[in-house]
Amino acid sequence: MGFEIQNGLVLLDKGTEVGFCVEQKTLYIQDGLITGIGAAPTGFIAEQIIDARDRLIIPGLINAHTHSYMSLMRNVANDLPFSDWLFGGVQPIEDRMEPKDAYWASLLSQAEMIRTGTTCFNDMQMHINQTTRAVSETGMRAVICRGLVGNDYDLNDRRLAEALDELKDWRNCSRLSFLLGPHAPYSCGPDYLRMLAEIAQEAQLGIHIHIAESQAETDDIQKKYGVSPVEYIDSTGIFDVPCIAAHCVRVSYSDRMILAKKHVSVVSNPASNMKLGNGFAPVPELMAAGVNVCLGTDGPASNNAQNMFREMGLFALIHKGTHDSSTCITAADTLRAATSNGARALRLNCGEIAVGRKADLALLRLDLPSMIPATNLPAALTYSASGAEVESVIIDGKFVMDHGELLTIDEERVRAEVTRIYHRLNL
Higher pLDDT, 63 or 79: 63
> What would the mean pLDDT of 126-147 be, rounded to a whole number?
96
Q: pLDDT band for 312, please (50, 70, 90 cuts).
A: very high
Contacts of 120 (CB under 8 A, 6+ apart): 60, 61, 62, 63, 140, 141, 142, 143, 342, 343, 346, 348, 350, 360, 395
Among residues of the chain, what percentage have pLDDT more than 90?
92
pLDDT of 17 strictly over 80:
no
Q: What is the pLDDT of residues 404-417, one digit of tens each?
A: 999 999 999 999 99
Quote the pLDDT of residue 91.
83
- Per-residue model confidence (pLDDT) at position 241: 97
Report DSSP state, residue 86. I
Q: What integer pLDDT is reported at residue 419 of this predicted model?
A: 95
* Domain extents in the chain: 2-59+351-406, 61-346
Q: Do residues 121 and 158 make contact, with C-beta atoms less than 8 angstroms apart?
A: no
pLDDT tens-place string over residues 38-59: 999 999 999 999 999 999 999 9
The contacts of residue 77 (CB under 8 Å, 6+ apart) are: 84, 85, 88, 89, 90, 301
Residue 191 pLDDT > 80: yes
Average pLDDT over residues 291-296: 98
pLDDT value of residue 348: 98
Closest by CA position to 64, among listed 275, 285, 312: 312
Question: Average pLDDT over the chain, rounded to whole?
Answer: 95
Asked if the model's pLDDT at residue 256 lies above 80, the reply is yes
Residue 94 pLDDT exceeds 90: no
pLDDT for 288 beyond 80: yes
Buried b (16+ CB within 10 A) or exposed e, 78-104: eeeebeebbeebbeebbeebeeebbbb
**The dihedral sign for the CA sequence 134, 135, 136, 142:** negative
The stretch 310-325 carries a mean pLDDT of: 96
The answer to whether 2-59+351-406 and 61-346 have equal CATH topology is no
Whether residue 18 has pLDDT greater than 90? no
The one-letter amino acid at 172 = N
| pLDDT (0 to 100) of residue 39 | 94
Look up the CATH superfamily of 2-59+351-406.
Urease, subunit C, domain 1 (2.30.40.10)
**Amino acid 213: pLDDT:** 96
**pLDDT value of residue 80:** 82
User: Nearest to residue 234, comparing CAs of 185, 201, 267?
Assistant: 185
Question: Does residue 31 carry a pLDDT above 90?
Answer: yes
- Kindly report the CA angle at 85 between 147 and 87, in degrees rounded to 5? 60
- How many Å apart are CA 255 and CA 315, to the nearest integer? 21
Number of neighbours of residue 399 by Cβ within 10 angstroms: 19
> Residue 95: pLDDT above 90?
no
Q: Are 69 and 102 in contact (CB under 8 A)?
A: yes
356-369: pLDDT as tens digits: 999 999 999 999 99
Alpha-carbon span 193 to 175, nearest angstrom:
28
Cis peptide before 284 (omega within 30 of 0): no
377 membership: H or E segment, kind and range: helix 377-383
CA 105 distance to own-chain centroid: 17
The CATH number corresponding to 61-346 among 2.40.50.110, 3.30.420.40, 3.20.20.140, 1.10.150.20 equals 3.20.20.140
Q: What does the DSSP assignment read for 97-153?
A: --HHHHHHHHHHHHHHHHHTTEEEEEEEESSTTHHHHHHHHH--EEEEEEEE-BSS-
pLDDT of residue 15: 86
